A and B are shown apart, each in its own frame.
Chain A
Amino acid sequence: MTNVVIVMNNDMSTNRTSSFIQRIKIFIKEAYADAPALSALTIIMLLLMVPKLGAMLLDTRLHNGVNIWVKPVKFDVALVVYTATLVIFARWIPQQTRTKTWFKYFTAAVIISIVYEQIWIGGAAAFGTSSHFNVATPLMGIAYTIAGFGAVTLTSGALVFGILIARNKRTGLTDPLHFAIWLSSILMFVLTVITASYMSSQLSHFVGGNLLDTESHAIMGWAKDGGDLRVAHFFASHIFHVLPILVIAASHVFKTVSRNMVIAMAVLYSIFTFYTLWEATQGLPFLAGIIG
């Protein structure tokens, strides 16, 4: 395993002018070497999106006023982005940690949780019923409860990755970027658990409005006619994409990016996330108070 990585690093350094496609190939190979199980899961989930998209094309059943397969496909996209992020972040965890037994079991727990969510959400759609908030039958009630534990388990992947990256002093990253990656990974878990557990303590993710997905934003599908608790969950879960990208962008603008600047960005972003949560609890659509 070590040899493979060294050889590929040599390839990269000797061949700086290599084509974009080659660089992507090397990137994928490295990612696969760093996190084989999560890489495989990402590819399998992408493949299994195909029959779900096909079902979306064929199925005429509606759920909350929109095609019943919209939700499973949205979750597929979200989980693919999540596992792909973990795959990329895995390279900044020391290899000796990644090969430890506890780490492998932990990764397995994350994967099992993700697979469970997929089956639960996809299965509910196939049977023409709801997944989240569905406690109409004992079976679906139990399935929802298990899904809650599963959701926390799968999100804890970001927490554990964040802690392990924080403890690794030899990531090869600049200090502000290293700081942004581990801080935002930990915050991703904290903010997501807060926003998602508040949402699941309610009876629906809608607050007011027509309680359907018909009056909604084009891509995200958030309610336009009332509060939508999914907004805050979305921003909470994307902090570990936004913060590192902001730091990369800031390092192009400013000469140096300090840890304090990263903290300021994280605080502002978290405030914004909590603002969207408050907004939804007030029955207001996303940014309704600011842009009307």
Chain B
Amino acid sequence: MSMQTLFAISSPIAMLGWIALLIAPIIPKWANRIATYISPGLLSLAYMSLILAFWSGAEGGFDTLANVQLLFTQSEIAMAGWLHYLAFDLFVGAWIVREARAAAISHWFTIPILPLTLLFGPIGYVLFLVLKTSLSLRRNQKFLSKSSQSAAA
């Protein structure tokens, strides 16, 4: 199998997970199953195959930036790196949806954050943390102001 074929197969597997997350309020259980286990699991298995087959023959390493760049000049290792991105970004996306639900944050807030997490993983992650913190601060403030009102009354 060529790396191009593997690349072509892996993208729809990841997209399936992202679409499931976008429509998570409709299919909450399955969105979580697909985006946490099925899609990242499949991508990780493909990653394992690549590492088993190509890691020992790869040039480069993790010690210097130049060596990391050397690693990614090999298409098999770059493909493995790409699978790593796809799998772990999706996993973080699924975590965001779970956290948002647990904190009773409206899904409308997470909808713009999910594509950002897909495209620029860490940016989406940071924005979600900002969102979550600011919403919880606002709730605390409301709660405080309410309690002070009731105390005054």
Contacts and interface: CB of A to CB of B under 8 A. Distances in A.
Interface residues of B, number: 15
A122 B52 contact: yes
Given A52-B52, A57-B1, A58-B76, A128 B46 contact: no
Contacts of B48: 51, 54-55
Contacts of B7: none
Interface string B66-91: 00000000001000000000000000
B56 A54 contact: no
B49 A128 contact: no
B56 A128 contact: yes
A58 B50 contact: yes
A11 interface: no
A126 B46 contact: no
B53 A58 contact: yes
A58 B53 CA distance: 7
A69 B45 CA distance: 15
A128 B48 CA distance: 16
Interface residues of A, number: 16
Contacts of B1: 57-58
A54 B45 contact: yes
A122 B54 CA distance: 13
Interface of B: 1, 6, 45-46, 48-57, 76
Contacts of A122: 52
A38 B131 CA distance: 47
B45 A59 contact: no
A69 B53 CA distance: 9
A57 B49 contact: yes
B8 to A, nearest CB: 14
B53 A59 contact: yes
**A interface majority secondary structure:** helix
B121 to A, nearest CB: 24
A52 B49 CA distance: 6
B52 A50 contact: no
A128 B57 contact: yes
Contacts of A20: none
Interface in A48-96: 50-55, 57-59, 61, 69
Contacts of A254: none
A55 B50 CA distance: 6
Interface in A110-152: 122, 125-128
B129 to A, nearest CB: 33
Contacts of A57: 1, 49
B56 A58 contact: no
A233 to B, nearest CB: 26
A23 B117 CA distance: 46
Which of B50, B53, B55, B57 is the most central at the interface, judged by chain A CB atoms within 10 Å of its CB? B53
A54 B45 CA distance: 8
B49 A58 contact: yes
Given A51-B45, A51-B52, 14 more contacts: A54-B45, A54-B46, A54-B48, A54-B50, A55-B50, A55-B52, A55-B53, A57-B1, A58-B1, A58-B6, A58-B53, A59-B53, A59-B54, A127-B56
Closest 5 CB pairs of A and B: A54-B49, A51-B48, A59-B53, A55-B52, A55-B53
A126 B49 contact: no
B21 to A, nearest CB: 25
Nearest to B2: A58
Interface in A159-178: none
Contacts of B52: 51-52, 54-55, 59, 69, 122, 125-126
A50 to B, nearest CB: 5
Nearest to B1: A57
A57 B48 CA distance: 12
B54 A58 contact: yes
B49 A55 contact: yes
A129 to B, nearest CB: 9
B45 A50 contact: yes
Which of A52, A53, A58, A61 is the most central at the interface, judged by chain B CB atoms within 10 Å of its CB? A58
